Amino acid sequence: MEAQEILKQFNDVWELRHEYAKDWKRRTGGKVVGGMCTYVPEEVLYAADILPVRILGGHEPPSLATPHIFDMWCPFCRDCLNQALKGKYNGYLDGLIEANTCLHMRQTFGAWVIHVPTPWSYWFVMPNAVRSPRAKKFLRGELAEFKKALEEWTGKTITDEDLDRGIDIMNTNRRLMKQVYEFRKEDNPPITGTEAMTMVWASQLMDKREHNELLKQLLEALPKRKLDRDPGVRLMIVGSENDDRPFMEMVESIGGTFVIDDHCTGSRYFWNEVIPDNDRLQAIANRYCDRVPCPNKDWGMEDCSRVRFPHILQLARDYSVQGAILIQQKFCDPHELDIPSLRRYLEGNDIPCYFLEFEVTVPVGQFRIRVEAFIEQILAEELFV
């Protein structure tokens, strides 16, 4: 199969996510559970033969959410609730899981459970102090409670073999997507940043076993793919949840290419694997504490040093980044606190940065002018180096 055809399938899943989930449910008879954060332990859901899907917005004005969530809270959380109140998840979503993420998404979860009929819901207690010496043991206990709750709900006993299967499905998906990302290091990458991130969005919305088969075909096709475009300035995009395809496409049409990203809808979601252990739940707990952290959980116990910042800088160097676009969903508290320090850190290491604040619908025209100026600035400064 040609790379373009495979990439179109990823895009179709992203655009038709509800239709895909309904079809999957018809085909398999299985349960579908929505997850509000990438800290939801999908390994255990796959072990229980449940399809996890990421709850995303629809990039529409969230008018129905206004009575339930403050307008000064992030547009993403309001958009997600708005989609539920419009009935987008009716007819296929069997359950909903919140992973103790930011305050805004917790409010979305609470309002959803009250106002949208959902057969099953679960509050998964993911520790915020992931670097605490007690975090991994604590999380192992929470995973045991989660496994027990799933067994009671589904009537299915989750065995070690089931957990091994769930871990293998997730690890295979992570490994294959990292291999695709390796192609982005090339001088003229055979896959654009928009296409790569759409691939990740699709992985959060479809059965990863089906996604894995498409990834294997994509890895065979990419070496033969040559894009008829000048990659221009090599950019990194970092920040809040981002599935804004029009923005990504706009930037890559005016002289830039996103060669790497750090988002919960991008590399941060899949970068780390579960390291196998005889205690499967402890192995899963270790992964979620050790993974590339969200800024909500990226703080130290003694010296307050950051884990994420050095990781982002290393990505910038590995992918030969010339500039970084830092984005946040408006009113996103974790990233709003994080970005000023991250900007100083990157610029102190010779990575030019530009900040943009996103709403539900992105003003692409205004952003185009600003991004063009940033790209021109990078090119001008490099002339004098």
Average pLDDT over residues 342-368: 89
The answer to whether the beta carbons of residues 244 and 328 sit under 8 Å apart is no
Average pLDDT over residues 352-357: 95
The whole-number pLDDT of residue 384 equals: 67
The whole-number pLDDT of residue 154 equals: 97
Whether the model pTM is above 0.85: yes
The more confident residue out of 319 and 128 is: 319
CA distance 116 to 87: 8
Q: Report pLDDT digits (tens) over 206-235.
A: 999 999 999 999 999 999 999 999 999 999
DSSP label at 64?
Answer: G
CA distance 113 to 94: 12
In the three-class reduction of DSSP (H, G, I as helix; E, B as strand; rest coil), residue 286 is classed as helix
If you write DSSP's letter for every residue of 185-228 in order, what string do you get?
A: GSSS-SS-HHHHHHHHHHHTTS-HHHHHHHHHHHHHHGGG---S
The whole-number pLDDT of residue 237 equals: 97
The more confident residue out of 252 and 382 is: 252
The more confident residue out of 318 and 67 is: 318
**Is residue 256 predicted with pLDDT exceeding 90?**
yes
The whole-number pLDDT of residue 124 equals: 96
Average pLDDT over residues 23-29: 97
The whole-number pLDDT of residue 70 equals: 83
The more confident residue out of 331 and 121 is: 121
Q: How far is CA 366 from CA 61, 232, 323, 325, in A?
A: 19, 21, 19, 15
- Phi, psi at residue 302, to the nearest 5°? -120, -55
The dihedral through the CA atoms of 92, 4, 239, 255 has a sign that is: negative
**Is residue 126 predicted with pLDDT exceeding 70?**
yes
The whole-number pLDDT of residue 72 equals: 82
The whole-number pLDDT of residue 304 equals: 44
Average pLDDT over residues 110-129: 93
Q: Report pLDDT digits (tens) over 266-321.
A: 999 999 999 999 999 999 999 999 999 988 887 654 444 578 899 999 999 999 99
How does the average pLDDT of the chain come out, rounded?
Answer: 93
- Looking at the domain covering 3-163, what would its CATH class be? alpha beta
The whole-number pLDDT of residue 275 equals: 97
% pLDDT > 90, the chain: 78
Beta 256-262 vs 233-239: how paired, if at all?
parallel
- Phi, psi at residue 240, to the nearest 5°? -65, 175
Domain ranges of the chain: 3-163
The whole-number pLDDT of residue 382 equals: 74
Burial class (CB in 10 A: 0-12, 13-18, 19+), 27: exposed
The whole-number pLDDT of residue 358 equals: 86
